[in-house]
Amino acid sequence: MVYVHVPFCRSFCTYCDFYSEIACREKDAQATKDWLRSLLSEISSRRTEIEATSDTNTLYIGGGTPSVLPLDVLRRIVEALGQKQYDEFTVEVNPEDIIEKGPEYLAGLRDLGVDRISVGVQSLDDGILRWMGRRHDAERARNALRMLRDAGFESISADVIFGINGLSLRMLEGTVEELVGMGIQHLSAYQLSIEEGSALAGMIEDGRYTEASDEECRAQYELICDILRVRGFRHYEISNWALPGREAVHNSAYWKRLPYVGLGPGAHSLSIVDGVQRRSWNSQQLSGWTSESETLSLEEIREERLMLGLRTAEGIDGKRIEEKDFFIADSIIRDLI
Ligand code: SF4
């Protein structure tokens, strides 16, 4: 189970604090080369770890914006990883890249073995998209979704953001209904959060933006839940809905706390060897990143199991609550029960 972080975006969105650099134009080709060289060297030095996580045979290329990368760069990464076929191979894309690169690019992704696409739609309202600083408008997002469908992708997920001051229930309903009508199989909806260092945090500080109230956020979230339930989607994780059988295998493994290898700047990993659990993370720099790690204490493991388990529809097994090696049998869990 491998995650690759692509740290490039064509521009920065208002709300985002992910590690990314503005790059990948021709003049920035050197940046891509430097990043790729470091990534290939990390793949080769972590080969044993990568093979040890192959029980969950998934690859997820995320970012940043992986779709800014030329196909031959993606091919070199896939070849270096050495796996012939994955149970699920996801690439995150932005609509404008799909439009600019066209059907040939999509055919190239399929040739590489990509069978799941996660599209950063965020909204189908042009005013909201402009406010977010996205590079696409609603029409380009619609066209990109059509192109993905025409290219034969059968597992398409769309990202949507809610909890925005100025986003009406009517606009949100229009976005979700239209996405479902266009045949997506999966939807991830994230509530806008104010991340330190993002442009949005600055806008709040100098009074250019006021956060939506908890009541507005709740009404928007409940609207998404209602629409997707009626349309046959299963709400399998707090931010994720899927048609039956289209749940994300890779992300589900994170919530089950299975081991994974994160490659590239800023990526995190979890290893479990002989019962010892270690988390490691790469520094956020374009090339030559370094890694730090820590051994997780029993208490940290229990807390993560509790937190991640409660995010999913499966929840946590109430019978195991009192077990010594499972959850914290203290006042917190008793209060929750
Ligand atoms: S939201 Fe996506 S495209 Fe926008 S800056 Fe963040 S990583 Fe880049």
pLDDT tens-digit profile of 18-57? 777 766 555 678 899 999 999 999 999 999 999 988 788 9
Can you give the pLDDT at residue 337? 66
Give the span between the Cα atoms of 180 and 231, in whole angstroms: 8
Q: What is the pLDDT of residue 27?
A: 60
Of 25-34, 144-153, 200-209, 288-297, least confident by mean pLDDT is 25-34
Q: Is 20 in the pocket of ligand 1 (CB under 6 A)?
A: yes
What's the pTM?
0.94
The residue segments making up the domain with residue 25 are 2-254
Residue 103 in any domain: the answer is yes
Q: Pick from 189, 219, 254: which residue ends a domain?
A: 254
Query: Ligand 1, atom 4: nearest CA belongs to which residue?
Result: 13
Residue 132 CB less than 6 A away from ligand 1 = no
On whether residue 75 sits in a domain, the answer given is yes
By most ligand atoms within 8 Å of CB, the mutation choice from 8, 24, 65, 129 for ligand 1 is: 65
User: Rounded to the nearest 5°, which phi and psi values hold at 311?
Assistant: -75, -20
Q: Cβ(262) to ligand 1 under 6 A? A: no
Task: Output the residue whose Cα is nearest ligand 1's atom 5.
Answer: 12
Residue 322 banded pLDDT, cuts 50, 70, 90: low
- Same domain for 228 and 313, yes or no, is no
When divided into structural domains, the chain yields a total of: 2
Do 28 and 86 sit in the same domain of this protein?
Answer: yes
Average pLDDT over every residue of 133-156? 97
For residues 192 and 247, the answer to whether their CB atoms sit within 8 Å is no
Report the amino acid identity of residue 333. I
| Position 330 confidence tier, pLDDT thresholds 50, 70, 90 | low
The verdict on 101 and 206 lying in the same domain is yes
pLDDT at 139 over 90: yes
Res. 114: pLDDT tops 60: yes
Does residue 158 sit in the same domain as residue 228? Answer: yes
**Per-residue pLDDT averaged across 288-315, rounded?**
91
**What residues contact 168, with CB distance under 8 A and at least 6 apart?**
none
Q: Give the model's pLDDT for residue 188.
A: 98
Taking the centre of ligand 1 as the mean of its atom positions, its distance from the CA of residue 247, in whole angstroms, is: 23
Residues 22 and 101 in one domain: yes
214-230 helix and 169-181 helix, angle to the nearest 10 degrees: 30
Domain boundary residue, one of 221, 254, 287 = 254
The reply to whether omega before 163 is within 30° of 0 (cis) is no
Q: Which residue, of 229, 254, 279, is where some domain finishes?
A: 254
